Amino acid sequence: MIPDRLVLATANPGKGRELRELVAGWGPVVVAGLDAFAGVELPDERGGSYAENAVAKATAAARATGLPALGDDSGLEVEALGGAPGLRSSRYADSDAERIAKLLAALRDVPEALRAARFVCVVAAVFPDGRVATAEGVCHGRIAAVPAGRAGFGYDPVFVPEGFDRTLAEVGAEAKQRLSHRARAVRSLGERLQHGPAGV
């Protein structure tokens, strides 16, 4: 069952905006951000998997607010870098610009044909009574030689989705909501909540 109210277990404004828009696809859910609650602290992303991190964040938010919570963790996995930055994507450097610069420097001598990558996202819904549901979404693509586009956040300006010749930061919000890793994960979770056992 999809909850009537939900709190987003993220302090990232870009993720928060995307999650609000995607959860709207579930129906009339009242979505609150962490800024509506004082003193909620989320754990550091130190788990051994995206799912572990997503569940930990959602669990912390659900316990602190008494509401069902939606957490997510995601990463960029680059084939030529052995799957890096992966779980460390948000900690690869101190800012989006620095992360992109570091990534492009690491791929400087890698030809376009070998720049395959994928975005992975796991979202977790945790209910105050302890019930948990998770779902994963993956978006395949490649890393561009230079950043392009002003929309999106994170690595979007250098990630070209499969079947496109523009980056996620260029394709527009409507296209991104169809094909991104986060969009796919949230859609899958919504279907699981809608059709699964009561509450899960």
Residue 57 to residue 59: CA distance in whole angstroms: 5
Burial of 199 (0-12, 13-18, 19+ CB in 10 A): middle
Residue 96 to residue 116: CA distance in whole angstroms: 20
Catalytic residue among 4, 73, 96, 156: 73
Tokens found for residue 133: 């549901």
**Any idea of the CA torsion for 51, 53, 54, 56, to the nearest 10 degrees?**
120
- Are residues 160 and 166 in contact, defined by beta-carbon separation less than 8 angstroms? yes
129 is catalytic: no
Residues designated as active site: 73
